[in-house]
A and B are shown apart, each in its own frame.
Chain A
Amino acid sequence: DGGITQSPKYLFRKEGQNVTLSCEQNLNHDAMYWYRQDPGQGLRLIYYSQIVNDFQKGDIAEGYSVSREKKESFPLTVTSAQKNPTAFYLCASSIDRGAMGPQHFGDGTRLSIL
């Protein structure tokens, strides 16, 4: 079955450390997205990519970085510059450049500070 795989499910970060969240999809979708969700809140867009080797900042990109070297992969790095990284992170993809289809989501990664 096609889908989106996020790993790890739980991740802990030490002060000053960069951590990378993995997102892989086998849906052959062009567009991929990273969202942050804080308790009781909605989704805030961190970065999105419409095509390989191209990505755009979302609403809260500071302290995060991404790459899109392959169509199926869109890893997110939470850098030490992100002072409040504790949150639930969701990766999503959608079918084409027009993004007229619904988004498909992974199961999420919960990031906590040690």
Chain B
Amino acid sequence: AQTVTQSQPEMSVQEAETVTLSCTYDTSESNYYLFWYKQPPSRQMILVIRQEAYKQQNATENRFSVNFQKAAKSFSLKISDSQLGDTAMYFCAFILTSGTYKYIFGTGTRLKVLA
């Protein structure tokens, strides 16, 4: 069975600093997609960044970047120049490219950006 583990239930970071959220996953498949979602206090789930497993290059979206280590099954999210608006729950998720179309989510990391 596929699983996603986010080992940091809560984290905090000072405004303008950099923070890294960890995510590990377990699957015997080799083709899949990985995602980070953000859920601010408004509860709207927002896609932050996406990574295709077949791509070696790490995805980046402005201040957000990932460190994808396929052999280690690790998919961490780095937030640079943290802003107060980054305060949210962050969920790591993945889906296989074949078979069941279920997304597997981690339990989330609550990030608080401090002024």
Q: A42-B91, A42-B108, A43-B91 are in contact. Are A103 and B44 (CB under 8 A)?
A: no
**Chain A residues numbered 67-114 whose CB sits less than 8 Å from any CB in chain B:** 88, 90, 92, 94, 97-100, 102-105, 107-108
Q: A31-B101, A102-B35 are in contact. Are A42 and B107 (CB under 8 A)?
A: yes
Using C-beta atoms within 8 Å of the partner chain, give the interface range for chain B: 20 to 34
- Residue of B33, B103, B106 most packed against chain A (CB within 10 A): B103
> Which residue of B45, B101, B107 is within 8 Å of A41 (Cβ)?
B107
- Scan B31-69; emit 1 where CB is below 8 A from any A CB, else 0: 001010000001111110010000000000000000000
Give the residues in chain A near B105, CB-CB below 8 Å: 42-43
Nearest B residue (CB) for A49: B101
| A90 and B103 alpha carbons, distance in the complex (Å) | 14
Give the residues in chain A near B108, CB-CB below 8 Å: 41-42
Interface pair B97/A98, CB less than 8 Å apart: yes
| A2 and B65 alpha carbons, distance in the complex (Å) | 27
Interface pair B107/A105, CB less than 8 Å apart: no
Q: A50-B101, A102-B50 are in contact. Are A42 and B43 (CB under 8 A)?
A: no
Give the residues in chain A near B50, CB-CB below 8 Å: 102
Interface pair B43/A107, CB less than 8 Å apart: yes
| A58 and B105 alpha carbons, distance in the complex (Å) | 13
> Which residue of A41, A94, A105 is within 8 Å of B44 (Cβ)?
A105
8 A-B residue pairs with CB within 8 Å: A42-B108, A48-B102, A50-B101, A98-B101, A99-B103, A102-B35, A102-B47, A108-B44
